[in-house]
Structure 1
Amino acid sequence: MSRAVHRRYVAFSDAHYAGNLVDGAYSLQLFGDVGTDLSIELDGHEGLFAGYSSVEFLAPVRGGDVVEAEATLVQKGNRSRTVDFELRVVCRGSDDTGRAEVLNPPLIAARARGTAVIPAQATDELPWS
């Protein structure tokens, strides 16, 4: 597997700013979760996240949205993994009454590229490495 996807409803309690906006750290947290999933599926280990080489916040995420976070393997070294991340708003809450609409196409809210590292002892223990 070279890709992992998570979907999540964004609770209104996650919004901290006017207009029910959610902070950018919310996107990065989702990238961490989906990146961990990808590492486990690829290497049988959570991996250790080394950092982002780029992060772009392209559109707002709001309470009441449904978002989809995707991690895609770009490059696999001996222990390092370069991963591209994308966060899409797939449903947008209209207001706080529960009304919402499916966005077609989804709205790209954030993109990033990061590097994860699998510890040496973890790769030594894998039967398929």
Structure 2
Amino acid sequence: MTNATVGLTVTHRRYVPYSHAHYAGNLVDGAYVLGLFGDVATEVCIVADGDEGLFASYSDVQFLQPLRAGDVVEVKATISRVGNRSREITFTASVVCRGRTDLSESAAEVLAEPLVITKAVGTVVVPVANKTQ
């Protein structure tokens, strides 16, 4: 039995620790966000199909703004197309809180508007639903 429907959305939030900074300015590499997209895609598959599924491909990835250590990032995955075994998923990653080391080492703020940093479209595959259940 499948609950996969267009519009099903799952959201995760995560604090980005300073140990993940790889570049000057406490920048975090884009692969970190892609890993988060994989995590949220797994939950979409569990909710929709009762299986973790497998990530098959990305058809588009756009890095729009930087992710920095000290940020709180929110990732959303929304099913945009349902096939027999495939699910096309639209992803967004937004910074919702940002560190303010210009004020003090531990200062941070909630952003008035989330800052969209990455968008992507990917495809996952799940086992064929068992029709006898």
TM norm. shorter chain > 0.5: yes
Q: CA, structure 1 residues 99+125, in 2 after alignment: closer, same or farther (shift >3 Å)?
A: farther
Q: CA, structure 1 residues 16+126, in 2 after alignment: closer, same or farther (shift >3 Å)?
A: farther
Q: Deviations over 1:66-101 (max 9, x none)?
A: 000000000111110000000000000012711011
1:39-118 mapped onto 2 (5 Å cutoff): 39-95=45-101, 97-118=105-126
How many residues matched?
A: 125
Q: CA, structure 1 residues 81+21, in 2 after alignment: closer, same or farther (shift >3 Å)?
A: same
Q: TM-score, normalised by structure 1?
A: 0.92
Q: Which residue identity is paired with 1:104?
A: A
Q: TM-score, normalised by structure 2?
A: 0.90
Distance 2:17 2:39 in 1: 17
Higher helix residue share: 1
For the aligned residues, what is the CA RMSD?
A: 1.4
Structure 2 segments unaligned to the other structure (5+ residues): none
Q: CA, structure 1 residues 92+53, in 2 after alignment: closer, same or farther (shift >3 Å)?
A: same
Structure 1 segments unaligned to the other structure (5+ residues): none
Distance 1:126 1:25 in 2: 40
SS in 2 for 1:108: strand
Q: Which residue identity is paired with 1:47?
A: G
Residues 15 and 63 of structure 1 are in contact (CA less than 8 Å); yes or no, is this contact kept in structure 2?
A: yes
SS in 2 for 1:124: coil
Out of 11, 20, 38, which is 1:5 matched to?
A: 11
Q: CA, structure 1 residues 90+98, in 2 after alignment: closer, same or farther (shift >3 Å)?
A: same
